[in-house]
Amino acid sequence: MQTVQLRVRCENAKGVSVSDDVSRKDRVHQGLLDAGLMLFLRYGLRKTSMEAVAQEAQVSKATAYAYFPNKTAVFAAVVERVIDRMVSEAVEAASKEATPIAALERSMITKFVRLYELVHQSTEGAELLQASNVLTAEVVKKGHEKYVAHLAKLLVACEVVERRKATELAEVLDAAAEGVVARASSKDDAEKKIVLLVQHLVAR
């Protein structure tokens, strides 16, 4: 009976490994998302075309369509990646702080200053927010719920609210931070106001 050996890198007929092919596909996919993000922030969703995304990603239009059926699909994937990264970065930043209060502050600064940089500094920010709420409502909701759950744990750890009311307060705090960031005049102003918001909450 012959022994079948499983190889991590399987060579195809042309001598190109399967893993290399997967890596290339991943690079093209990420390149299209990077291109989409840059163009959406610069021109908005309506003024961005699949042809422009393909050109920015340095691939053919046919290749771009092989990965995404239209620019709305690119936008949805971009929004999902941005939200996932924003929440993950905020959670990671909080985990590096020594105290619950510092963790709460760092988490909110990380998320909402990033939000300001990505959306509110863009001339197309209003359109992008509206489009994300309409076209990617479930993705936005999922990301929001994940971050609110994270905030709720930090609020309980800070002893500013009972566990049974933590989610409700986290919702209010998240909404307040969004309002603060939307009215900030600069990145530094956004960070300063987030710090004041957290300090006022903790001091109560």
Enumerate the domain spans of the chain: 73-203
Q: Which residue has the higher pLDDT, 20 or 195?
A: 195
* pLDDT on residue 148: 98
* pLDDT on residue 11: 41
Question: Does the pLDDT at position 133 exceed 70?
Answer: yes
Question: Does the pLDDT at position 132 exceed 80?
Answer: yes
pLDDT confidence bin for 19, thresholds 50/70/90: low
* pLDDT on residue 135: 94
Q: In DSSP terms, which residues pair with 17 in a beta bridge?
A: 11
Distance, CA of 54 to CA of 61 (rounded, Å): 5
Question: Does the pLDDT at position 103 exceed 90?
Answer: yes
* pLDDT on residue 122: 86
Burial class (CB within 10 angstroms; exposed 0-12, middle 13-18, buried 19+) of 125: middle
User: Mean pLDDT throughout 162-172?
Assistant: 96
Question: Does the pLDDT at position 6 exceed 50?
Answer: no
* pLDDT on residue 21: 61
